[in-house]
């Protein structure tokens, strides 16, 4: 009988603790433990059409356009104010862009820029757009292009 009483007594003492543990965290604010920060937004990787890309470039002043083609391809046709970073450099981690800056990736038809974007997302970049159809879709949409060697920047 004493054994039963001891067990009942322990259960009686521990039952409120078990109920609290099973009920989850309190909804009241805790001065010593403020609520956790909201979860960071998932990285964005999206393929966009040439008209969508042009609109993003107009409305997002901090959007950087990265051309992942070869220098020879870039001399034939390029989007104004884009920056050359060959896909091999992206894969090797040579690209020095800020992970929180939005980027538009461009190649000939969209394949290399897609691969580069996936690599960059895996490395912590937060907002990547891939020009679907590449520079060819840009040209077919009648959007402005530059040709020939680039002027060296001072």
Residue 8 lies in a domain: no
Q: Specify the pLDDT at position 18.
A: 44
The DSSP symbol for 6 reads H
pTM, to two decimals: 0.72
**pLDDT profile of the chain (154 residues), mean per 10:** 50 43 43 57 94 97 96 95 96 92 97 97 97 98 93 61
The whole domain housing 101 covers 44-140
Write the CATH number for 70.
Answer: 3.40.250.10
What is the three-class DSSP state of 46?
A: strand
Residue 145 lies in a domain: no
Name the pairing type of β-strands 44-48 and 127-131: parallel
Q: Specify the pLDDT at position 10.
A: 44
The DSSP symbol for 28 reads S
Residue 111 lies in a domain: yes
Residue 127 lies in a domain: yes
The structural domain count of the chain equals 1
Residue 153 lies in a domain: no
């Amino acid at each position: 009988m004493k054994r039963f009483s001891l067990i009942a007594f322990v259960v009686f003492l521990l039952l409120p603790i078990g109920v609290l543990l099973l009920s989850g965290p309190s909804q009241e604010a805790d001065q010593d433990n403020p609520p956790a920060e909201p979860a960071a937004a998932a990285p964005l990787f999206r393929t966009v059409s040439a008209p969508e890309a042009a609109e993003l470039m107009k409305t997002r002043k901090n959007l950087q356009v990265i051309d992942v083609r070869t220098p020879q391809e870039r001399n034939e046709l390029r989007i104004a104010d884009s920056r050359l970073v060959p896909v091999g450099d992206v894969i090797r981690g040579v690209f020095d862009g800020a992970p929180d800056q939005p980027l538009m990736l461009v190649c000939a038809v969209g394949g290399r820029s897609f691969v580069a974007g996936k690599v960059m997302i895996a490395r912590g970049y937060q907002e990547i757009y891939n020009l679907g159809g590449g520079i060819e879709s840009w040209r077919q949409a009648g959007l402005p292009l530059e040709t020939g060697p680039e002027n060296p920047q001072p």
